[in-house]
Structure 1
Amino acid sequence: MSSEHPAPTGLADRIHGGWLGRIAGNMLGKPIEQGKVWTRTRIDRYLGGCGALPLTDYLPEPADPADTAVLRPEWRSCVRGRIHGSCRDDDVDYTVLGLHLLESRGFGFSTEDVGELWLLRLPYLQTFTAERAAYRNLANGLRPPLTATYDNPYQEWIGALIRADVFGWVCPGDPGRAAGLARRDAVLSHTGNGVYGAMFAAALIAAAFTAPAVRDALESALGVIPASSRLARTVRRVMSLHEAGLDWADTVDTATGESAGGWIHTVPNAAVLTAGLLYGDDDFTRTLALTVRGGLDTDSNGATAGSVAGVRTGAAALPGHWKDPLEDTVRSAVFGFDGVRISALAERTVRLAHGGSEPGPAGYPSLHDLHR
């Protein structure tokens, strides 16, 4: 834990930090969520032209009209000085929907339960890639696992990974259990590395509650996916480059350059995420900044990195310039949840974690100290 911030005081503070971190990271990356256009080099050129390197806050307003033309349409609500509550985004919608899933169906939910809630609560046009393919398959009467495999070329893209956070938050210190929940959700729409990405993210967040350092959390998360998978090999590659002393930019360029699949695929995005966490070194601001500057699916990677860093920092210690503009408010396309308070979502998540968590792995601090 960076000496810049005091240690969080308990489980509720950590889970609240995870929610705030996820939303802040998503907002940070949202304006430049177009990996084919917003490469790592172009992002840094944008920031440099605005006098915003090193990045320590939300993105500044663009200084170059050419940049304005290729930002996401929502950018005006996501840049510093203009933020009043969170923007709506699928990276947050699925987190809200995952919470509702656990509240309404319990920890024993089925993959069919996930699909039923999508049809009941999530507008079709607010789904994308693998999720839209699975949604269409559900509406046409298919059942899992066919919902993931029929006419779905996006099976290993990042969609399942972005749905995984809540499973980590409700299983603090238990990455194996978190990964099992995430897998049950992920197989509705994904296969292979797409499913492994969700398991990895859920386990990483669960381990973040109790791991001595973020590298230990990454090691725990690797333990829930096949060591021979492309995802595991890529994460280990980033870890080895970091350990060898390569700088952050060269590590990102090397690892993403070695990863095929495109800018929304799970594997290269896991490289960006892993580098952001390692080189961020348990500093919330640095972790978010490096992850989003890494490019590819910037809002999704920023959200997951923010979730991990928020859990490790805790809500009380998060810098005010990240959390205050969110105004404790979530915009969501999930039916019945638009305008809900972030603090209320965190409180509901804490109740689930108290009711469902088990002791953490040997060698990690007891969760008794987190339940205060």
Structure 2
Amino acid sequence: MGNDGTPGPDLEDRVLGGWLGRIAGNMLGKPVERGDVWTRDRIDGYLRRAAALPLTDYLPEPADERDALALRPEWDRCVRGRIHGSCRDDDVDYAILGLDLLETHGFGFSTEQVGELWLLRLPYLQTFTAERAAYRNLADGLKPPLTATYDNPYQEWIGALIRADIFGWTCPDAPRRAAALARRDAVLSHAGNGVYGAMWAAALISAAFTAPTVRQAIDSALTVVPASCRLARTVRRVVSLHETRLSWEDTLSTLSEETAGLGWIHTVPNVAVLTAGLLYGDGDFTRTVALTVRGGLDTDSNGATAGSVAGVLTGAAAIPGQWKDPLEDTVRSAVFGFDGARISDLAERTARLARTSAGPALDTLPG
């Protein structure tokens, strides 16, 4: 039931909300995905020049040539009025690959099987940073966890976190199980906070199926990672600043100073931006994805995860039409055999796995 006593979204609607939210959030952030260029101030400057603040829709077309030249080359397929289905992106490819993994090998999959599926289904040039290092190591015959640690300077970057959604979607209200599955996937390519980020994200999405508020989902997700790790300390820091009623802008400025030097693709500063977007968005889908992308850094990855969490919280039916209608129920993907798939079909298959995973426990889910 909803907080007002009305029926809440059912499992299928929440899973579809997660898929739509992930894809929409990814599309929102994709044009400005380069954190060393598109800072928080520059993103807001772009929006002001285009008369698009407050941000309530996909990014507008650039107001001047200088802005246009700085955007990613795919921008003209990701801005409002030009979207016809999703653009291909690794933030969505890995959700699809994770679905294929669970359908092929079940919930007892091994890290080695994750690597085998990458080699079979995912083109090498569509991998980046830690994933590309792990892919190269796999091709050279190395086995996990050496695939994550050999000649891989990106072990704590955000790649494993963006692969975690499928484990949250298929383990509703089971954050520890979701985190365990995400860890098994993550150690193929990551270590330390890179792995903790994946565990935290999977648990967060899992908790969102039943948590009455986003804050409670965040608190639940914190229980699956070591309390002393830097990721957990950073999330708690964002929570504490939010509790003092500090503004979103000042919270991000504080966290930017405290995480300086880690780089714009490192898991920890991106989790700070993501946590702030979720808390200050307070369960509102549009506000959540808009604030998260406006926060800068790895904008498309953060927008995707924020959209996934918010979409599970609200359900697909409650996501405003300006976000889901332009997607035309179609996803582009580099994963072999999935290009042009229907988002609704991916969600149905995911919900089927969730019902298999949860069994009788689904009777306790709201809706």
Which band: TM-score by shorter chain?
over 0.9
Structure 1 position 256, deviation (Å): 2.3
Letter in 2 for 1:128: F
Question: What does the per-residue CA deviation read over 1:218-255, in whole Å, with 9 as the maximum and x for residues that have no partner?
Answer: 01110000010010000000000000110001101111
Q: Which amino acid aligns with 2:248?
A: W
Partner of 1:364: none
- Secondary structure (helix, strand or coil) at the match of 2:114 reads helix
The alignment status of 1:139 with 2:165, answered yes or no, reads no
Distance 2:262 2:298 in 1: 12
Give the aligned residue type for 1:67. D
Amino acid in the other structure paired with 2:70: V
Distance change >3 Å, CA 2–CA 28, structure 1 → 2: farther
User: Mapping of 1:18-97 within 5 angstroms?
Assistant: 18-97=18-97
Do residues 222 (structure 1) and 222 (structure 2) align? yes
**For residues 271-310 of structure 1, what are the structure 2 equivalents within 5 Å?**
271-310=272-311
3-state DSSP of counterpart to 2:280: helix
**In structure 1, distance between residues paired with 2:92 and 2:242:** 30
Residue equivalent to 1:354 = 355
CA distance in 2, matches of 1:317, 1:351: 21
Q: CA deviation at 1:104?
A: 0.1
- TM-score, structure 1 as length reference: 0.96
Give the SS at the match of 1:357: helix
- Give me the whole-angstrom Cα distance separating, in 1, the residues matched to 2:266 and 2:208: 24
Change (3 A) 1:317 1:28: same
SS in 2 for 1:69: helix
- Note the alpha carbon deviations across 1:77-134, whole angstroms, 9 max, x for none: 0000000000000000000000000000000000000000000000000000000000
Partner of 2:173: 173
Residue pair 1:183, 1:198 contacting (<8 A) in 2 also: yes
Q: How many residues align?
A: 365
Determine if the alignment matches structure 1 residue 104 to structure 2 residue 121: no
**Kept in 2: contact 1:2–1:283 (CA 8 A):** no
Does the 8 Å contact 1:173/1:359 carry over to 2? no
Residues 267-324 of structure 1: per-residue CA shift (max 9 Å, x gap): 0000000000000010000000000000000000000000000001111111111000
> Where does structure 1 differ by over 3 angstroms across 4 or more consecutive aligned residues?
1-4, 369-372
Residue 268 of structure 2 is matched in structure 1 by 267
3-state SS of 1:255 partner: helix
Q: 1:254 corresponds to which residue?
A: 254
> For the residues of structure 2 that align with 1:9 and 1:176, how far apart are their CA atoms?
23
Instruction: For residue 83 of structure 1, give the secondary structure of its aligned residue in structure 2.
Output: coil
Distance 1:71 1:369 in 2: 46
Measure how far apart 1:358 and its partner are: 5.9
Shift of 1:162: 0.1
- Report the CA distance between 1:144 and its aligned residue: 0.3
Aligned to 1:363: none
More displaced stretch, 131-140 vs 245-254: 245-254
Alpha-carbon distance between aligned partners in 1 of 2:8 and 2:306, rounded to the nearest angstrom: 17
Distance 1:265 1:192 in 2: 12
Q: CA deviation at 1:9?
A: 2.5
**Unpaired segments of 5 or more residues in structure 1?**
361-366
Q: Distance in 1 between matches of 2:196 and 2:168?
A: 14
Aligned partners of 2:307, 2:37: CA distance in 1, in Å?
A: 23
- Of stretches 236-245 and 8-17 in structure 1, the one that deviates more from structure 2 is 8-17
Q: What's the C-alpha RMSD, in Å, of the aligned pairs? A: 1.6
The residue aligned with 1:328 is: 329
Q: 1:51 to 1:2 in 2, by over 3 A?
A: farther
Deviations 1:47-76 (A, max 9, x none): 011000000000000002111111000000
Distance 2:292 2:347 in 1: 24
Deviation sequence 1:19-47 (CA, Å, 0-9, x none): 00000000000000000000000000000
Whether the 8 Å CA contact 1:9–1:370 is kept in 2: the answer is: no
Tell me if structure 1 keeps the 8 A contact 2:208–2:214: yes
Give the counterpart of 1:368 among 339, 363, 366.
Answer: 363
Q: Percent identity?
A: 77
Residue of structure 1 in register with 2:345 after alignment: 344
In structure 2, distance between residues paired with 1:257 and 1:123: 37
- Paired residue secondary structure (2:116): helix
Q: CA deviation at 1:7?
A: 6.2
Contact 1:160–1:189, Cα closer than 8 Å, also in 2: yes
2:320 matched residue in structure 1: 319
Classify 1:261/1:147 alpha carbon distance in 2 versus 1 (closer, same or farther; 3 Å).
same
8 Å Cα contact 2:9-2:366 kept in structure 1: no
CA distance in 1, matches of 2:278, 2:307: 9
